[in-house]
Amino acid sequence: MDGPSSGPPPLPRRLGAADLPHETVALARALIGKSLIHDLPDGPVGVRIVETEAYPAGDAAGHAFIGQTRRNSPLFHDFGRVYVYLGYGTSWLINIASESHGIGAGVLFRAGEPVWGIEAMMRRRGKGRLIDLASGPGKLCQALDVDKRHDGGDFFGGGHVWLGEAVRPPGEIGVSIRIGITKDADRPLRFYERASPFVSGPKKLSP
DNA sequence: CGGCTGATGATCT
DNA sequence: GATCATCAGCCGG
């Protein structure tokens, strides 16, 4: 049979709103190493979060900067709301609302280390190697089967998309500028696990 | 690996 | 009609 360490770890305990900092930048950092899981009919798929970006209130790069609109309204609702939108007509991106009601801010989930349901995630991604399975916000959503259906949901409301404890503590956390933006582009608001091969972006940003 | 480009569609003015 | 919090594919080094 297989060796003693084969197979995914058991699913972690669900995190609640009280388990995480209610401040955008601190939240982005605290999420590194935690688990992001989607319960699907055929079983859970999930990753260990290795990269996030903070979009604080008043940040010109953030979707909330222009004020509340139909699309970005989840960012203005309670801490822990799910904000999913379509980027470039091709990719879904998932965020968590990171401040209290009325304040528009969020954290973007950018990359994950595949942990649960790896076979299912690879099928959803079509081709590609494990290293490319969730190494970017669009790839992450495709692997996890996250899309518009989840927009407006609640990470802490007992739903199918949820956050869990870390199955392994994060290593050293690096900080860099954010990827793919032009406004407020020099702010150090991207967080990533330095030792992880599963992060996105140019290597220069993840030394 | 870094750099470039086309595809693609919802959103907002 | 412009603007993207992207990706895959292709090219050169």
Whole-angstrom Cα distance, residue A57 to residue A141?
A: 24
pLDDT band at residue A78 using 50, 70 and 90 as cut-offs: very high
A125 CB below 7 A from strand C atoms: yes
Q: Say whether pLDDT at A177 is over 70.
A: yes
Which pLDDT score, from 0 to 100, does residue A2 have? 60
Token pair for residue A49? 């979060």
Whole-angstrom Cα distance, residue A97 to residue A108?
A: 9
Instruction: Give the CA-to-C1' distance from A88 to B5 in angstroms.
Output: 14
pLDDT band at residue A199 using 50, 70 and 90 as cut-offs: very high
Query: What are the two backbone dihedrals, phi and then psi, of residue A156, each rounded to the nearest 5 degrees?
Result: -110, 15
Domain residue spans in chain A? 17-205
Q: Say whether pLDDT at A4 is over 70.
A: no
Which pLDDT score, from 0 to 100, does residue A127 have? 77
Q: Which residues pair with A162 in a beta bridge?
A: A37
Q: How far is CA A155 from CA A9, A20, A170, in A?
A: 21, 12, 21
Q: Report the candidate in A56, A35, A38, A137 with the shortest Cα–Cα distance to residue A99.
A: A56
The string over A35-74, giving b where at least 16 C-beta atoms fall within 10 Å of a residue's C-beta and e elsewhere, is bbbbbeeeebbbbbbbbbbbbbbebebbbbbeeeeeebbb
Mean pLDDT computed over A186-203: 97
Q: For B11, which residue's CA is nearest its C1'?
A: A71
The highest-level CATH class for domain A17-205 is: alpha beta
Token pair for residue A27? 């939240």
pLDDT band at residue A6 using 50, 70 and 90 as cut-offs: confident
Whole-angstrom Cα distance, residue A173 to residue A192?
A: 6
Whole-angstrom Cα distance, residue A46 to residue A33?
A: 12
Whole-angstrom Cα distance, residue A3 to residue A201?
A: 35
Q: For C4, which residue's CA is nearest its C1'?
A: A88
Instruction: Give the CA-to-C1' distance from A187 to C4 in angstroms.
Output: 19
A13 CB below 7 A from strand B atoms: no
pLDDT in tens, A87-129: 999 999 999 999 999 999 999 999 999 999 999 999 999 977 9
A88 CB below 7 A from strand C atoms: yes
Query: Do β-strands A190-193 and A43-55 pair in parallel, antiparallel, or remain unpaired?
Result: antiparallel
Task: Name residue, tokens 């595949």.
Answer: A114
Q: The pTM is what?
A: 0.97
